Amino acid sequence: MNAENAHEFARCIQAFKHPRYELMATGEIYDGDAEVDKLLQENKHAFPDFHFDPEQLHHADSGIFVEGAFRGSHLGNWRGLPATGRKVDVPMVIFFRFEGTEMICERSFFDLNTALQQLGVAWNPNSVAGKISTVVNHPMTIGRALLRQLRTKRR
């Protein structure tokens, strides 16, 4: 984590027996040196000052869970989204998997909608703007849900 926070990605990758990052929020897997480096470089381009601040460590039989937050300023393109200039502070849990003493995977758990809300491109679904956005963007789904609700009330 220190190497990643220092943006020393070669050193970070060398910490793994075989580097592998799994992003549970998106289902993406970055397997091998080149793929992991690609992900880390993309994060650095989009959030040049990014860092992960660990807050709690929890030990498990096959690894270590780290609770913390990914923080940074969105100053470059990220996943097709132009720089917003906004700061993110996204809570995360990262599971570092081990085989014996060898680290084999970093699996990250986070809420993608939290990051998108902080970047200004998504709304809290419980807010008025979020509810309007849901109706406008998903009219068929909302319509079917309302019909189901009416049918249930009639029973």
Which residues lie closer than 8 Å to 114 by C-beta, 6 or more apart? 90, 91
Mean pLDDT of 135-144: 79
The pLDDT value recorded for residue 123 is: 76
Mean pLDDT of 87-98: 98
Mean pLDDT of 42-53: 97
Mean pLDDT of 23-36: 97
CA angle 2–119–82, rounded 5-degree value: 90
Mean pLDDT of 14-43: 97
Which CB contacts under 8 angstroms, 24+ apart, belong to 116-120?
Answer: 118/86, 118/87, 118/88, 118/89, 118/90, 119/74, 119/81, 119/84, 119/86, 119/88, 120/84, 120/86
Question: Domains plus CATH for the chain?
Answer: 2-122 (3.10.450.50), 123-155 (no CATH)
Residue 25 confidence (pLDDT) above 90: yes
The pLDDT value recorded for residue 154 is: 77
Mean pLDDT of 18-32: 97
